[in-house]
Amino acid sequence: MTKNLITSLVVVLLTTLNVAAQKVTFGAKAGLNLATLTGDIDGVKTIPGYHVGGIADIQITEKFSIQPELLYSLEGGKSSFFYEDEFTLFDTKERYELGYLNLPVMAKYHFADGLSLEVGPQIGYLLHANSHYDVNINFGDEINIDESGKEDIKDFVEKINVGVNFGLGYQLKNNLFFQARYHLGLTDINKDLQEEGFEEEPSESLGKIKNSSFQFSIGYRF
C-alpha cells in the first residue's frame, strides 16, 4: 500500500509538471515546528523542531497552483512523570526526536493579492528516531537510580508516516513568502514489534501514536 501511494504521488507530480509546464518556479524554505504526539499516549507536550528544504510552485490557472516540497523535518514530543511521598520518589523526563524526509504536495487557492489557502497530502520517511531520557527513582535507601542519556528508538517507530496539511500562505512582491501550516498525522507510528521478531508483546499502554505539528515557514522563490 505504501509503495502504491508513493508511486501515485510521483505520477501525479510528473503529470502535473507536464501539463502545467508553462510556469514553474522553484525556491527554498525553512522554519519552526511546534510538534507533539497524539493518540493513546498521555501527558505528551510540544517540543520545538525545525524544517528546511526546497519547493516547486506549478501554476495551473491564475487562481490555482500546486506546490510540491521536499523537506527535512524534526518532529516528536516530550513527556514527564513526577511522584513523591515519604519513602518513594519517581522523577522521569523523556524527549522523543523523530527526523523525517517529507514530501508534501499542496494545492493552493490564491483568493486575494499575495494570499493563498493551502491543503494537501504528505508522506514522510523516517531517517532517525532518538529518545533523550532523565530518570531519578528512589525507594528509601534500598534502590537509587539516577540515569540520563540518549537511546536509538528507530526500531520502535514505523518508517512511513502519511498525513494531511492545512495552511495559509502569503507572498511579497519581492518573492519572499511566509507560510503557517498544521500537519495532521494519519499513520499509527507505533511499530508492532512482533513483525520484527521480538518475542515479547508490545506494551498495551502505548496503543496508537500519531504525529501532529504546527509549522511556520519563511522562504524565497528564485
Q: Furthest-apart CA pair in the chain: how many Å?
A: 75
Tell me, yes or no, whether 15 lies in a domain: no
Q: What is the pLDDT of residue 142?
A: 74
Print the domain residue range for 205. 25-76+95-126+155-221
Tell me, yes or no, whether 201 lies in a domain: yes
Q: Pairing state of beta strands 209-221 and 176-185? A: antiparallel
- How many angstroms separate the CA atoms of 160 and 81, rounded? 29
Tell me, yes or no, whether 177 lies in a domain: yes
Give the chain's domain count.
1
Q: What is the pLDDT of residue 137?
A: 86
Tell me, yes or no, whether 215 lies in a domain: yes
Tell me what the mean pLDDT of segment 110-124 comes to: 96
pLDDT at 29 over 70: yes
Q: What is the pLDDT of residue 127?
A: 98
How much is the mean pLDDT over the chain? 87
Tell me, yes or no, whether 38 lies in a domain: yes
Tell me, yes or no, whether 207 lies in a domain: yes
Tell me, yes or no, whether 34 lies in a domain: yes
Tell me, yes or no, whether 143 lies in a domain: no
Which CATH number goes with the domain that contains 121?
A: 2.40.160.20
pLDDT tens column, 6-20: 565 555 555 555 554
Tell me what the mean pLDDT of segment 80-97 comes to: 89
